[in-house]
Structure 1
């Protein structure tokens, strides 16, 4: 009898399922409430924001919008300036001159070109050797052309022995007024001074 009673007691304890603590129910309810509040807040935020944008757009002066659009279009179209420099002479540093000078943009100062205006500059350089000089250049002394702003190298390239040219070297940079551009050749070598073979093209764009 004692064994049966003990077995029955153990079985009863095994079959009994403990109930959830009341605090668990409270926590579940609280989580549901927080979730509902978050959904309501997000919906309200996006609805009010979208309506606010529509209201602000309708309140903008059409003339002001048109003026801004024209200004943006002018910048995109480039209200810029272009100067093409030809080589006057040079075998180490190149002396440049131009027929479409712009005093408010770049000025010629000896072998240097002085930057007058702050802005974006697209630099496009090509240097070509004279044909007879190409025959005298040793293989171990291929000329190298550099375009420097003061002491900083902006463009650099070697002369190709077959074409006698650097090809087109280009770069867009932001330049400040007062800087000095100079093109050098090392080792010094005579160049082809025709505009189609040696030239420095500069396109200027004002910074917004």
Structure 2
């Protein structure tokens, strides 16, 4: 089983779970970051990947058993000071691919520019492209010269009717609903969790309206 096939089955697993511990035991050297605003990373610069765990909405804060896997990052060489991830990438993608190569292999479902939102696939310099798969979503961000910077894997967004009624702006201002706000922002704007979190943080800090 490939790294990607194995890790996408762990979405929603607690950072304190035996499943995560077993998975990490077979990986390259890693460290666990300090908890910051409900987020905690497992960082493997040697392995070329990071795992992002987030506190579940409405769960007791600072309890590891409620901090679950929400995103996986796979890095190209030098990205965030990581070595290049050497495992098999989804859709036969490669870090050597140009954006045109990626599109030829599989057309993105969404193209995104930070500050503008969703744009046509023909946009020459997008911040990221996103693809939907059965068990996960994938977003690719680019270096300034257009090369692949990193891939982010996340679970398919699912929203209940109860979660859809408040706006992401309203949820962002509730201390225990930030993750719900991020997921709702993702759904509305078709972006990845990193860009959505950045937008929510900017909104909370009054940098955008």
TM-score of the aligned structures, taking structure 2 as reference length: 0.20
Higher relative contact order (CA 8 A, sep 6+): 1
> When you count strand as a share of all residues, which structure comes out higher?
1
Structure having the higher helix fraction is 1
